[in-house]
Amino acid sequence: MPLMMWLMPPQQYDFTRFVERGLIPLLVLFQATTISPQDAAKSVGKQVTVEGVVVQVTHTAESNTTFLNLCAPFPKHCFNAVIFKSAQATFSDAASSEGKKVRVSGVVKLYQGKPEIVLDKREQLNALTKE
């Protein structure tokens, strides 16, 4: 079987179709850089993992959006993880993240001057501590 090599994060790709064709994907895994929520603004446009404590979880019924605020409650937060309506079912337990240390992975974007990562896949949010 021929070998294939990608220099990309594997979680973004479905390799089933390659295996079905007799190709074996050889993955070169990248570990996202882990940063603090305070440093997230310096990483806009980059794939990172932000590690910090969720100090507030808020939900807006109007847009069905959930915000996990790190550093301080809104509006003084330094970073947030955003769960839009389309991903609410995937993160139905998001409210239980409040007070826990978490890792949030994804591409950092700025929204209204604050860094954020939009969550749409379960593996993007990992709790590091339990109650």
pLDDT in tens, 6-34: 444 444 455 556 556 666 555 544 556 89
Query: For all residues of the chain together, what is the average pLDDT?
Result: 84
pLDDT of residue 16: 57
Whether 24 and 86 map to the same domain: the answer is: no
Joined tokens for residue 109: 């974007």
Task: Work out the percent of the chain whose per-residue pLDDT is above 70.
Answer: 73
Three-state secondary-structure class, residue 111: strand
Whether 14 and 44 map to the same domain: the answer is: no
Which of 9-13, 34-38, 56-60 has the least mean pLDDT?
A: 9-13
Whether 122 and 62 map to the same domain: the answer is: yes
Helices (H), the chain: 16-20
CATH value at residue 103: 2.40.50.140
| pLDDT-based confidence at residue 87 (cuts at 50, 70, 90) | very high
Burial of 2 (0-12, 13-18, 19+ CB in 10 A): exposed
Give the Cα-Cα-Cα angle 23, 31, 91 (nearest 5 degrees).
Answer: 90
pLDDT of residue 33: 83
pLDDT of 83 > 80? The answer is: yes
Whether 55 and 111 map to the same domain: the answer is: yes
Residue type at position 39: D
Structural domain boundaries, residue 14: 1-30
Phi and psi at residue 10, to the nearest 5°: -70, -25
